[in-house]
Amino acid sequence: MELKFDPQNPKYEFITTGSRAEEVLKILANEKIIAVDVETTDLNPYTGTLLLVQLGTPEISYVFDAREINLCDFPLYKELLENPKYLKILQNAKFDYQFIKLKTGSQIINIFDTMLAEGVLTAGLRGRNAGLKELASTYLGVDMEKATRKTFYGYTGKITEDQLIYSGLDILVLFPIFEEQMKRLQAEKLVNIAKLEFAVTRVVAEMEIRGVYINVDKWKEIIASLQKKRDSYARQLQEAIRPYYNNTQSDLFGNVSDCININSQTQLMDLFNNKLNISVPSTGDAILATIDHPVAKLLRDYRGYEKLISAFGDTLLAKVNKVTGRLHPDFMQLGAATGRFSCSNPNLQQIPRNSEEAPFRQCFTPAPGYKLVVTDYSSMEMRVLADLSGDERLIQAVSDADVHSFTAALMFGKEYSPDFKKKYPDLRQAAKAINFGLMYGMGASSLARQINVTPEVGQEYMDKYFANFPSVRKFLEGYATHAVKFGWSATPAGRKRWYHVPDKTDPDYKKKIAQIGREAKNHPIQGTNADVTKYALVFLHERLKKEGVDGFVTHTVHDEVVCEVRADQAEDWAQIQQYEMVRAGELILKKVPVKSDPFVGDVWEH
């Protein structure tokens, strides 16, 4: 395509004085679309320094020296970034948003993010987010040099010409990429979903800036008590297996040394298969649970504690930010192929539920003077399935009853009553397994294994289920068929997911087709849940601003949103939070009620 700049020699101007900055900002104010990028010494906005801010037109990049010029002093700079009449194009806007907000006091409004655009255009086809180098290559055929990027890391010197050329090119490529992506978004009818993602990215940026408070002392106490228990089980296990290993050696400190490394899969397999003569295919918990042997029992106990300590111990505390004293996880808003978030460093979405021994979530508390307002959607995925399939019985079940009890009553020929859960807990559990399993495209044999019945009985349950909910079967099969035929599926809100459909000659053709079928059955359900939660995040952020509430969205876990709000405003806000969550749900769900009960308190639980 025709470029308005020379990739080898991009036009740029280095702005180092206030007077020139003022002039350039006036020039930029005549533009409708501005490309934005920053260069920093660190990825962390709390510890890094802002070196350069690039604002560009399609022809020229203006590179502001952020160490020389205090951009906070220029009302026009703030105007350009905050006025929605200027469209701002960025690659991974979340990053730039955070530095610009914290270092120059402006919030970017009206964003087009090339990384997110690519994400919605290629959902399911790529493992990770697209880098700018990749976008420039695929859309423009331009090979970008990225080696200069790392020269900014920890940089304290004078900005070099190489660095300026690099910074300049970084935003000039954004315009033609934006134009090409816009065409594709329109062709794929993905404009609305892209707009949703662009609106969400501001919320995510703010969420990460705020972070979550964690009670470090309480966390340490939990870990210490878990370590005690783990070590006790480890010792017992080593003693129990010592007879099988001619091991009476002592280590340097006179302690009897261990027979095996309990964490080693290889050594455990040897222990079970060769020493204990218990043949096991693997050492997973499902297998261990079936083995009636003290070593298996000790290992299961050990594993329970070891897991919690290794995954949620000191490594998590090491991620507490030195400046804020809070955790600032990375939220990737297109982390999953279905449109869901993923989260890392640390992954707040996998903190264990509170339990007697390990009440981890109780350590997540509000800052002094604040409350946590927690809302999650009630049985969201079942409601989505009922609404989208239009199945009358399922709609009735999610609307008027406890859906798992209702389906259990139907399938096992019992009378439904509000106390069904108490009367027939096992039947309800079986129905719940079916309800969840079918949302993942589960087959009869897996179902049978899970609820501990023969494959024949599993098939009977499955048949009976779909006899009761005929539209559900039609709906799910329809998605599977469509995905295989066209190579993609879409949620009602318009979010697409693509599939690598194998060639008929592929030796694994059937297996891969089955896989696509299962993924496609799950996509409208999980994807719609994600769509709804993302609308809710945007609505909540807007309301917090509009109402002038002293509060912030701090995190989200798929169908749950947590806000931290000044204590005296928390109860009123909880009503608004509930209202906006339901409003977001009702944008998509038209046939079933959306439910979301708020919880106001001092710990993260509900």
Written as one letter, the residue type at 579 is: Y
Task: Give the footprint of DNA on residues 358-397 (CB under 7 A).
Answer: none
**Near DNA in 113-142, by CB under 7 A:** none
Q: Is 441 in the site for DNA (CB under 7 A)?
A: yes
Q: CB of 182: closest distance to DNA in angstroms?
A: 25
Token code pair at residue 417: 């009553």
* Total Cβ atoms within 10 A of residue 189: 11
Structure tokens at 36: 């934005």
Shortest approach of DNA to residue 27 CB, angstroms? 41
Q: Give the nearest distance from C-beta 267 to DNA in angstroms.
A: 5
- Cβ proximity of 113 and 197 under 8 Å: yes
Site string for DNA, 446-465 (x = CB under 7 A): x---x---------------
What's the Cα-to-Cα distance from 309 to each of 30, 76, 306, 348, 356, rounded to whole Å?
57, 51, 5, 15, 15
> Within 477-536, which residues bind DNA (CB under 7 A)?
510-511, 514-515, 518-519, 522, 526
Q: Measured from the CB of residue 145, what is the shortest distance to DNA in angstroms? A: 21
In angstroms, the CA 453 to CA 347 distance is: 36
Q: Of the candidates 89, 373, 398, 433, which one interacts with DNA according to CB under 7 A? A: 433
H or E segment at 310? helix 294-312
Residues ≥6 apart with Cβ < 8 Å to 380: 529, 532, 559, 585
| Residues 553-582 within binding reach of DNA (CB under 7 A) | 557-560
- Closer to DNA by CB, 64 or 499: give it: 499
Cis peptide bond prior to 346, omega within 30° of 0: yes
**Does residue 440 interact with DNA by CB under 7 A?**
yes
H helices, E strands: number in the chain? 23, 16
Q: Which is nearer to DNA, 93 or 296 (CB)?
A: 296
Binding-site size, DNA (CB under 7 A)? 61
What stretches of 313-402 show up as alpha helix (H) in DSSP?
Answer: 314-317, 380-389, 392-400
Least distance (Å) from DNA to the CB of residue 496? 14
Please identify which residue in 48, 176, 437, 585 interacts with DNA, judged by CB under 7 A. Answer: 437
* Residue 585 within binding range of DNA, rule CB under 7 A: no
100, 308, 386, 544: which one binds DNA (CB under 7 A): 308
**Based on the number of CB atoms within 10 Å of its own CB, is 150 exposed (0-12), middle (13-18) or buried (19 or more)?**
exposed
CB of 528 to DNA, least distance (A): 13
Report the residue number, 63 or 268, with the smaller CB distance to DNA: 268
Shortest Cβ 579–DNA spacing (Å):
21
Contacts of 387 (CB under 8 A, 6+ apart): 395, 588, 589, 590, 591, 592
488-490 and 33-40 beta bridge pairing: unpaired
| One residue of 36, 164, 259, 316 binding DNA per CB under 7 A | 316
Between 100 and 447, name the residue whose CB sits nearer to DNA. 447
Residues 6+ apart with CB under 8 A from 491: 339, 523, 524, 527, 528, 531
Q: Give 284 or 425: the residue with its C-beta nearer to DNA.
A: 284
Question: Nearer Cβ to DNA, position 202 or 558?
Answer: 558
Q: Does 238 engage in binding with DNA (CB under 7 A)?
A: no
Task: Look up residue 424 and give its DSSP letter.
Answer: -
Among 229, 275, 307, 595, binds DNA (CB under 7 A): 307
Angle at 82 between CA 76 and CA 87, to 5 degrees: 100
Stretch that binds DNA, among 68-76, 91-99, 408-416, 437-445 (CB under 7 A): 437-445
Can you spell out the DSSP letters for 107-153?
---SEEEHHHHHHHHSTTT-SSPPPHHHHIIIII------GGGGGGT
Site for DNA in 138-197 (CB under 7 A): none
CB of 340 to DNA, least distance (A): 6
CA nearest 466: which of 474, 478, 458? 474
Residues 326-365 that bind DNA (CB under 7 A): 332, 335-338, 340, 342-347, 349-353
Strand pairing class (50-56; 330-332) = unpaired
Smallest separation (angstroms) from DNA to the CB of 351: 6
Stretch that binds DNA, among 34-42, 169-177, 420-428, 551-559 (CB under 7 A): 551-559
Measured from the CB atom, the residue of 263 and 417 that comes closer to DNA is: 263
Kindly identify the residues of this chain, within the stretch 241-300, that bind DNA according to CB under 7 A: 261, 263-267, 282-286, 288, 300
Q: Minimum distance between the CB of residue 263 and DNA, rounded to whole angstroms?
A: 4
The least distance separating DNA from the CB of residue 26, rounded to whole angstroms, comes to 43
Q: Give 603's Cβ-side CA count (13 Å radius).
A: 11
Contact footprint for DNA (CB under 7 A): 261, 263-267, 282-286, 288, 300, 303-304, 307-308, 310-311, 315-316, 332, 335-338, 340, 342-347, 349-353, 433, 436-437, 439-443, 445-446, 450, 510-511, 514-515, 518-519, 522, 526, 557-560
